[in-house]
Chains A and B, each alone.
Chain A
């Protein structure tokens, strides 16, 4: 059993045990007329604030607040624990008030995006390793430019060879826009190789019009296409790793604001 597997089993076991304990405590408090919903609400507030503070921890790297990896693990499992706490707090009933509905929607959205992010961060890295060269996302435009220049140079003709009109047409019709920027984002997200295959088939279709020398050039072009497609895959996958945070993080701040509003109204209007 690897360290990661052991860590996951331990973390999930903790979440399940804590959830069961909270459920039992809630039942006990309900039976003793002790208002567990209020108590669970405060637990949920602490959880939300703790989860939101993970971003602050990353920004305050100069402070000795522990390893970021440890914070991430806590962030993940406390986030998982928040779901049963939320269900216990609401009594598994959909709220009826405006603030409560917005707060619940924000919570569930943030929770679901968190689960999505967890899934992506666990699923994508192995795939990045499996396909093409692992490159830093910010450098991908540079590498695309290098491949574009290499492809254009091939089409323009080698030192002792005249340029081919067929190759020029192929490049202009099929490859020019392909080499301009990252392409086929959605196809790469769903691991579809259809665009890549279609492009390589288009190159193959022109092979019979080329002489031997130009066929070698075509081979170089096809190689560039494959490498560019791998770069696009890297770009799409790495972008996914960043884009999910555009939902998770901003909505967290909205959730914090609405949570505070909910706390104020609930505490003000609750007969204690």
Chain B
């Protein structure tokens, strides 16, 4: 047993201070002095002294702390006789570690200051590569970041300013098709989205939207682009990635996946309001099967083939409907052009109302007014508009002597200044009528000369309150037959100016309906407009107001549905598909799906409803009867229209879109940004 090396008695064990900055220079040799270096790193050993000269002799001045006066004393020249035993203290481990820390922090700080200096390009602080679509912008931080516009503003941008959407505004410089409310949920204005949600909520299986304060729709909170689109994660990073759970941030009706819990397609597509009234089941089962099919362009076999009317667009995503001439015209064109319809009256010399106060001689009261036996009893609505000069009608279309003079003044002014006289009678907002009035003006000039040869003199006498001059009566043709012309014509038999539709997509009727339809249903709508709309929209095709006639499907609103725009305006759907701005929450590409079962690709999903009991043309979802018993198109856009196709079954979709194919996420079929076709 050897003696221990380390002693801990108070004499032989000094107190170690590893936290000191300096250690004795002789410590590594195993012979440190007991004093140790000072805090400044100086050796505390003072073996030498500075001898003091007293008279002619030198005396040792060494302190007792360092050994006291030495026996030999100073040298004769006054220097100390002792050797210098001081050492060079060394840095302790603690001190070296501190220096290493300072060096490391200093290098880091220097690197960061260099990175943030004005002369260093900001791309060096880029947190990573952007996606390949944005790669061209990578060298220009200011293209996407407000903070990149000035180095000096980094700190203020980091902690003081909170311009949350400033960067997102830069996104919109390129992504301009994102909609009018780019930072609202689905880029749709809150009230529109709430409305859409309310409509969807009608169905019991619809997706619910959170009503809690955190719901973005209800809180009105705006979502910056970077909320979902996180850049600087590499060239191939999917910026549009959105998990199903993130969709359910707002959509609280949660379900496992598409195959388990997704709402059924109850209303699609058979109850989706189409732009054209077309019942597939009725056409295929009843009309196309008829022996005396009147189609002149299509045979029976091709009629039943879906591809006869529907073809994929160039991109293969959308199934388009062929135009009228290649589809409906074969059967329905004759119902438009051959209709025994005398045309829409725009001007007429109508019979004077019997209850008007005209006990005097009629000619002396209102002058020349060449009515015939077949003259209309009421003014045409457009004529009433022009005579009254206001859309707010008088509530009656009856002709009175006062109105006759106003009518004559209008005719004279048209003769003098042309269509300007008509345009100034309707407000600027009714610009859709102006085109029609321009076509009407020459005919009015013609009839003002032929029907009213003394018009100018009559009006001069009437203005001067002098007796009216006498003019010979205007000759009336004996035989009144349907004129063979189409378009504008003057009917001398009943003293009217009429317009007969030329063909399908007649421009005058289209403009007239575009003008009328938005105004129907408004409180301020005039009686004239209601009457005109009734005449034009009456699917009976009589052509006469308040008269029913033979059945005809060729009238405009018999086939073209009406829809309500976002601003509540009613409009006619002239095209088969809506290609404008609408909420495309769902997307579907036909082309990959039609490859699955080529022979029956369409009918696999779109099954014809063969069990429909109601086969009348005037189905309640298409038309309704008004108080007078006349058929009116169903203007209520919430009213579903049957296309004769059964609903697409979700289970059928789920046979492919399921967990095994990993193609059953929300974004597989749904768009977040819903703008665009």
Chain A 196-229 interface 0/1 with B at a Cβ cutoff of 8 Å (1 = within): 0000000000000000000000000001000100
Instruction: Tell me, in angstroms, the Cα distance from A185 to B395 when the chains sit together.
Output: 114
Q: Which residues of A contact B101 (CB under 8 A)?
A: 249-250, 252-253
**Does B30 lie within 8 Å of A261, measured CB to CB?**
no
Q: How far is the CB of A236 from chain B (nearest CB, A)?
A: 14
- Residue of A whose beta carbon sits closest to that of B8: A136
CB-based A-B contact count at 8 angstroms? 157
**Does A135 lie within 8 Å of B162, measured CB to CB?**
no
**Does A266 lie within 8 Å of B127, measured CB to CB?**
yes
Q: Number of B residues contacting the other chain (C-beta, 8 Å)?
A: 66
**Is B224 part of the binding interface, using a Cβ–Cβ cutoff of 8 Å?**
yes
* A and B contact pairs by CB, cutoff 8 A, 30 listed: A30-B243, A32-B214, A32-B249, A33-B223, A95-B127, A96-B126, A96-B127, A96-B129, A97-B127, A98-B124, A98-B126, A99-B127, A133-B5, A133-B6, A137-B18, A141-B29, A141-B30, A246-B97, A250-B101, A250-B105, A254-B107, A261-B112, A264-B154, A264-B155, A265-B158, A268-B155, A268-B158, A271-B166, A271-B225, A271-B226
**Is A245 part of the binding interface, using a Cβ–Cβ cutoff of 8 Å?**
yes
Q: Which residues of A contact B153 (CB under 8 A)?
A: 268
**Is B577 part of the binding interface, using a Cβ–Cβ cutoff of 8 Å?**
no
**Is B10 part of the binding interface, using a Cβ–Cβ cutoff of 8 Å?**
no
Q: Which residues of A contact B322 (CB under 8 A)?
A: none
**Is A269 part of the binding interface, using a Cβ–Cβ cutoff of 8 Å?**
yes
Instruction: Tell me, in angstroms, the Cα distance from A242 to B4 when the chains sit together.
Output: 25
**Does B30 lie within 8 Å of A142, measured CB to CB?**
yes
**Does A271 lie within 8 Å of B168, measured CB to CB?**
yes
**Does B127 lie within 8 Å of A35, measured CB to CB?**
no
**Does A142 lie within 8 Å of B16, measured CB to CB?**
no
- Residue of A whose beta carbon sits closest to that of B26: A141
Are A97 and B158 also in contact (CB < 8 A) when A223-B2, A254-B104 are?
no
Q: Which residues of B contact A257 (CB under 8 A)?
A: 105, 108-109, 112
Instruction: Tell me, in angstroms, the Cα distance from A231 to B2 when the chains sit together.
Output: 14
**Is B277 part of the binding interface, using a Cβ–Cβ cutoff of 8 Å?**
no
- Residue of B whose beta carbon sits closest to that of A142: B30
Residues 103-128 (chain A) with a chain B CB within 8 angstroms: none
**Does B233 lie within 8 Å of A142, measured CB to CB?**
no
- Residue of B whose beta carbon sits closest to that of A146: B5
Q: How far is the CB of B121 from chain A (nearest CB, A)?
A: 11
Q: Which residues of A contact B100 (CB under 8 A)?
A: 246, 249-250
Q: Which residues of B contact A258 (CB under 8 A)?
A: 108, 112
In-complex Cβ contact of A269 among B2, B108, B145, B234 (8 A): B145
**Is A170 part of the binding interface, using a Cβ–Cβ cutoff of 8 Å?**
no
Q: Which residues of A contact B165 (CB under 8 A)?
A: 271
Q: How far is the CB of A116 from chain B (nearest CB, A)?
A: 16
Instruction: Tell me, in angstroms, the Cα distance from A258 to B113 when the chains sit together.
Output: 11
Are A100 and B128 also in contact (CB < 8 A) when A30-B243, A143-B30, A249-B97 are?
yes
**Is A156 part of the binding interface, using a Cβ–Cβ cutoff of 8 Å?**
no
Q: Which residues of A contact B16 (CB under 8 A)?
A: 136, 138-139
**Does A144 lie within 8 Å of B30, measured CB to CB?**
yes
Q: Which residues of A contact B111 (CB under 8 A)?
A: 102
Q: Which residues of B contact A181 (CB under 8 A)?
A: 28
Chain B 140-154 interface 0/1 with A at a Cβ cutoff of 8 Å (1 = within): 010001011000011
Instruction: Tell me, in angstroms, the Cα distance from A95 to B148 when the chains sit together.
Output: 20
**Is B167 part of the binding interface, using a Cβ–Cβ cutoff of 8 Å?**
yes
**Is A263 part of the binding interface, using a Cβ–Cβ cutoff of 8 Å?**
yes
**Is B613 part of the binding interface, using a Cβ–Cβ cutoff of 8 Å?**
no
**Does B104 lie within 8 Å of A250, measured CB to CB?**
yes
**Does A99 lie within 8 Å of B115, measured CB to CB?**
yes
- Residue of A whose beta carbon sits closest to that of B225: A271
**Does B18 lie within 8 Å of A138, measured CB to CB?**
yes
Instruction: Tell me, in angstroms, the Cα distance from A87 to B39 when the chains sit together.
Output: 44
Instruction: Tell me, in angstroms, the Cα distance from A134 to B232 when the chains sit together.
Output: 55
**Is B551 part of the binding interface, using a Cβ–Cβ cutoff of 8 Å?**
no
- Residue of A whose beta carbon sits closest to that of B4: A133
Q: Which residues of A contact B93 (CB under 8 A)?
A: 242
Q: How far is the CB of A80 from chain B (nearest CB, A)?
A: 23
Instruction: Tell me, in angstroms, the Cα distance from A31 to B31 when the chains sit together.
Output: 68
Q: How far is the CB of A243 from chain B (nearest CB, A)?
A: 8
- Residue of A whose beta carbon sits closest to that of B125: A265
Are A31 and B108 also in contact (CB < 8 A) when A96-B234, A98-B124 are?
no
**Is B246 part of the binding interface, using a Cβ–Cβ cutoff of 8 Å?**
yes
Are A138 and B23 also in contact (CB < 8 A) when A253-B108, A267-B159 are?
yes
**Does B249 lie within 8 Å of A98, measured CB to CB?**
no
Are A97 and B126 also in contact (CB < 8 A) when A133-B5, A133-B6 are?
yes
**Is A12 part of the binding interface, using a Cβ–Cβ cutoff of 8 Å?**
no
- Residue of A whose beta carbon sits closest to that of B103: A250
Instruction: Tell me, in angstroms, the Cα distance from A261 to B110 when the chains sit together.
Output: 11
**Is B245 part of the binding interface, using a Cβ–Cβ cutoff of 8 Å?**
yes
| A-B contacts besides A97-B232, A144-B30, A268-B147, 4 pairs, CB < 8 Å | A31-B246, A97-B125, A99-B112, A257-B108
For the residues of B in contact with A, the DSSP-based class is helix
- Going nearest first, the 9 A-B pairs with the smallest beta carbon separation are A96-B128, A145-B30, A97-B127, A271-B226, A267-B158, A253-B105, A257-B108, A31-B245, A271-B167
Chain A 146-165 interface 0/1 with B at a Cβ cutoff of 8 Å (1 = within): 11100000000000000000
**Is B164 part of the binding interface, using a Cβ–Cβ cutoff of 8 Å?**
yes
**Is A6 part of the binding interface, using a Cβ–Cβ cutoff of 8 Å?**
no
Are A97 and B112 also in contact (CB < 8 A) when A250-B101, A265-B154 are?
no
Chain B 14-40 interface 0/1 with A at a Cβ cutoff of 8 Å (1 = within): 001010000100011111100000000
**Is B227 part of the binding interface, using a Cβ–Cβ cutoff of 8 Å?**
yes
Are A261 and B116 also in contact (CB < 8 A) when A223-B2, A253-B104, A268-B147 are?
yes
Q: How far is the CB of A232 from chain B (nearest CB, A)?
A: 13
Residues 208-233 (chain B) with a chain A CB within 8 angstroms: 214, 223-228, 232-233
Residues 59-111 (chain B) with a chain A CB within 8 angstroms: 93, 96-97, 100-105, 107-109, 111
Q: Which residues of B contact A267 (CB under 8 A)?
A: 157-159
In-complex Cβ contact of B97 among A136, A143, A144, A250 (8 A): A250
- Residue of B whose beta carbon sits closest to that of A31: B245
Instruction: Tell me, in angstroms, the Cα distance from A31 to B243 when the chains sit together.
Output: 8
Chain B 508-519 interface 0/1 with A at a Cβ cutoff of 8 Å (1 = within): 000000000000
Q: Which residues of B contact A35 (CB under 8 A)?
A: 227
**Is A270 part of the binding interface, using a Cβ–Cβ cutoff of 8 Å?**
yes
Q: How far is the CB of A41 from chain B (nearest CB, A)?
A: 12
Q: Which residues of A contact B227 (CB under 8 A)?
A: 33, 35
Q: Which residues of B contact A268 (CB under 8 A)?
A: 147, 153-155, 157-158
Q: How far is the CB of A84 from chain B (nearest CB, A)?
A: 20
Chain A 65-103 interface 0/1 with B at a Cβ cutoff of 8 Å (1 = within): 000000000000000000000000000010111111010
**Is A3 part of the binding interface, using a Cβ–Cβ cutoff of 8 Å?**
no
Instruction: Tell me, in angstroms, the Cα distance from A133 to B3 when the chains sit together.
Output: 10
**Is A189 part of the binding interface, using a Cβ–Cβ cutoff of 8 Å?**
no
Q: Which residues of B contact A147 (CB under 8 A)?
A: 5
- Residue of B whose beta carbon sits closest to that of A231: B5
In-complex Cβ contact of A227 among B5, B29, B126 (8 A): B5
Instruction: Tell me, in angstroms, the Cα distance from A98 to B124 when the chains sit together.
Output: 7
**Does B30 lie within 8 Å of A146, measured CB to CB?**
yes
**Is A251 part of the binding interface, using a Cβ–Cβ cutoff of 8 Å?**
yes
Instruction: Tell me, in angstroms, the Cα distance from A223 to B128 when the chains sit together.
Output: 63
Q: Which residues of B contact A97 (CB under 8 A)?
A: 125-128, 232
Centre residue among B100, B107, B165 by max chain A CB count within 10 A: B100
Q: How far is the CB of B371 from chain A (nearest CB, A)?
A: 74
- Residue of A whose beta carbon sits closest to that of B94: A242
**Is A256 part of the binding interface, using a Cβ–Cβ cutoff of 8 Å?**
yes
In-complex Cβ contact of B31 among A133, A137, A145, A249 (8 A): A145
- Residue of B whose beta carbon sits closest to that of A257: B108
Q: How far is the CB of B28 from chain A (nearest CB, A)?
A: 6
